[in-house]
Chain A
Amino acid sequence: MQLQVPGPWSLLLGRLTLDQIPYTNPILQVTFAVAALIGLVIVGAVLYYKKVGYLWREWLTTVDHKKIGVMYIIVGLVMLFRGFADGLLIRTQQVLANGPHAAGYIGATHGFLPPFHFDQVYSAHGTIMILFAATPILTGFQNIVVPLQIGARDMAFPYMNAVSLWLTTAAAVLVMISLFVGDFSQAGWVGLIPLTELPYSPGVGVDYWMWAIQISSVGTTLNAINMIVTIVDMRAPGMTWFRMPVFSWTTLSTNIIGLTAFPVLGVALALLGADRYLGTHFFTAGMGGNLMLYTNLFWIWGHPEVYFLILPTFGVLSEVIPAFSQKPLFGYVTMVAATFAIAGISWLVWLHHFFTMGAGPDINGFFSVATMLVGIPTGVKVFNWMFTLYRGRITYTVPMLWAMFGLFLLLVGGLTGMMLAIPAINYTVHDSVFVIAHFHCMVLMVVCAGFAGVTYWFPKLFGFKLNECWGKAFFWTFAVGTVTVFTAMFALGFEGETRRLDWTFNTAWKPMLVVEEVGMIIYVLSLALFAVMLVVSIRDRNKQKLAADPWETSRTLEWLTPTPIPFYNYAVTPQVNTRDELAWRRKYGMEHTKPDAYEDIHMPSNSGLPVILGALAGIWGFAMIWRIWWLAAISLLGVVLIVIIRSFDKNAGYHLQPAEIEAMERDLSIGAITAEQPDRSHHIITHAEAH
């Protein structure tokens, strides 16, 4: 059944025609030129240095959790940059388009973005920042750190781990393609209903939004399964539950949330898809549809998703703060309990996103109280961190600065959240930029903890630290930019500015809009400093040779591995004797003790199938968006075939021999990096002999 969609449709190309490519738009011309230039430079560099084979063997086909984690973080950082560019466009438009006499440029009545384009920009900003920047970066950390922290050699399902990564990447690519082919959704990142229905959004924008989220959420669900099984099943001997580092605890709780919440999002979007593709009436404005059904389903996922983002960053703070206070974490057990309390309550608060639905005092009262309850375990956590700092030997390294600023943002965001939890206040400020400022404090807390994590674990992965001086410059500009933008935004909320305005009609808002724009310029500066930090650090990488434990005050197991970490992580599985195992070994002078003998290690083989699977999923998404049915059918069939082909794959990995391991460990101890895996074709084993 094919619904009537406006515009031409052909069997070969579906809805795709040449005039769907907005090559006349000057903003997109510049964007395309920059994107094409960066793409050409990267492809050129890979070809010039003859790294195609290396890229394929060591990265694209890898099943190593560390490399997969690094690629997650790269995808996340690219999308973070894209999302920031969208934010910059929003802020600039609002300050230019202020008041009835604001000038208009390049086709807009006020400012430089016509409403339809502006609406796409803020929808893309929200979708990208939540689902394609924050989520991959945090998933990347979990991938890298958790197996190391619990003393495992890999994830429970290394192949499925690669599948998750490539599904997420395919979805991110779809979002990027929407810039240059067709439109993106103009209906907000939440998909305002019934605006997303076919009669009101007949273009492909909503389809891009919908299918990209759908594909990435399959990846996230698979990753959640993988993480939970890894933590439950693969902890090193002696690592009882209450010896597990808090980051691993938060990863466990966050993935329980992810596993249970993402299917609901999948249903919400699939039902919307049924409305748009099959003509059903789940959420339509007439014919027996129910608008609030969508809103409820979306936020039943949406609120747990918020904690899905913030819990791992609580874990990062719980690693960074003890390491740079040189004290064990205060109140470890209460920290774990608080983590799970937050995860549990996250399921009971979704309605606070739409108190104004008018469900009545009983229902609003319940959700108001449930929302305030979140403050209790979160307060426990904040006090635990403060007591960890209390009388500690604090060193203000870059990760510690990020963690401190993260705590500040958590406080501001948390207290304004308590205000919003009161329905009486919420009715007044609903959909005002006060709400926007509140949740940006929270997600910027996530970003701060993210940068704390990047600087903290970077030397473990790559063998050199990020430059401290430029790192501090980056931090301070970022912090000042944040405070400038969002203090002004809180004020604008009280002045009555509503969200998503392409034209800020009230001239009284002008001063604060200008302050926000100044803050954005400081942000741009901080991004430049971030780039400088990366370049300087990579240039000077050989000036410092780092030992296994570069910070010398870190406490958890991951710092026991050599730096950089060999692909098999631990030559011999460590025995865990206590919580904060590394701090304990250091205290008794045992952190450099090596195992007496090596034994062979069973490793999984690389596979090209996950990246092909991701490509097919991306093609399928593109075909569905443009209603190219033959291509959708072929690519879906390809996905099914690859799953079946994989089930016939008898390659169950290979064994590393003790002599090889000894040689590699020796190389590592004298600082010679063994990046390449040894040729192991003669060690390949099949299922029959594997077990």
Chain B
Amino acid sequence: MAHDTAPTANTRLFRPGYEGHNQISARTLGFWLYMLSDALLFTALFAAYAVLDTPMNAAGGPIASQIVNPVEGFWQTIAILGSVTSYSLATVAMKNGNRGGTALGIVAAIALAVVFLAFGVNDLTTLAAHGDGMDRSGYLSAYFVLILTHAIHMGIGILWMLVMLVQIPRYGFNEMVVARMLNLRMFWQFQATVWVCVYVYVYMIGA
């Protein structure tokens, strides 16, 4: 055996008082791993979009350049990045132990996310009203589902923020609340990153 050495007087067989793992670090690693799986989910959706983004898959319906509006997408990008900034400022306030400031940052983040979603919902409903809904062609299916999947993630993030707005005044900044706030920050920034990919890949290249 490679490491076979005889025990000495100093050999320990047990480790009383061993602290074990750190809860926060375990939860953070776990959340990173969840985001890895979420990243793969979006990767598969982007791959599907790439495959279906051809005139043939548009099946006589509109192609990317006929439906995407990069200017509207620009305002969406500003809104989502603003939301991330507000949330980040909320975590700065949390670091200072400022509950009111944290809540304010979260409320601003929610408001900007709602603005973002309003643009998206308006875009999709307008398309559908013109008969270019997700059931029109393979291309539009990929477009709608990619945007909607991101929007659902945003909705879950908003729900999570509402829960935090209840928990912060109720529990203060205890270990679990702080852990949730930090994981939510990762989640929120990740959604913004995904949106930047959507904006570049769908809106800018498509236009």
Residues of A within 8 A of B (CB): 1, 153, 156-157, 221, 224-226, 228-229, 232-234, 236-238, 243, 259-260, 262-264, 266-268, 271, 274-275, 278-282, 284, 286-290, 293, 297, 300, 328, 332, 572-575, 577-580, 583-585, 587-588, 590, 593, 595-597, 599, 640, 644, 647-648, 650, 687-688, 690-691
Contacts and interface: CB of A to CB of B under 8 A. Distances in A.
Interface stretch (B29-37, B82-90, B114-122): B29-37
A260 B40 contact: yes
Contacts of B2: 332, 579
Contacts of A289: 57, 138, 141
Interface in B39-54: 40-41, 43-45, 47-48, 51-52
Given A267-B45, A599-B17, A644 B4 contact: no
Given A290-B51, A588-B6, A221 B37 contact: yes
Contacts of B71: none
B37 A293 contact: no
Contact of B135 (A225, A260, A279, A590): A279
Given A228-B33, A282-B141, A573 B18 contact: yes
Contacts of A280: 134-135, 138, 141, 144-145
14 contacts: A234-B26, A260-B37, A274-B134, A278-B134, A282-B52, A287-B138, A288-B61, A288-B139, A573-B15, A577-B12, A578-B1, A580-B1, A584-B4, A595-B16
Interface residues on B, range: 35 or more
Contacts, number: 180
Given A297-B44, A647-B167, A278 B14 contact: no
B137 interface: yes
B129 to A, nearest CB: 13
A583 B3 CA distance: 12
Contacts of A228: 29, 33
A577 B33 contact: no
A243 to B, nearest CB: 7
Contacts of B48: 267, 271, 282, 293, 297
Contacts of B96: none
Contacts of B20: 153, 234, 573
Given A287-B137, A691-B175, A588 B14 contact: no
B54 to A, nearest CB: 8
A237 B18 contact: yes
Given A287-B138, A647-B180, A648-B167, A599 B16 contact: yes
A597 to B, nearest CB: 7
Given A266-B41, A287-B137, A293 B21 contact: no
Contact of B57 (A226, A243, A274, A290): A290
Q: Which one of A238, A286, A577 has the highest number of Cβ atoms from chain B below 10 Å of its Cβ?
A: A577
A287 B163 CA distance: 43
Nearest to B164: A647
A259 B13 contact: no
A153 B192 CA distance: 38
B56 interface: yes
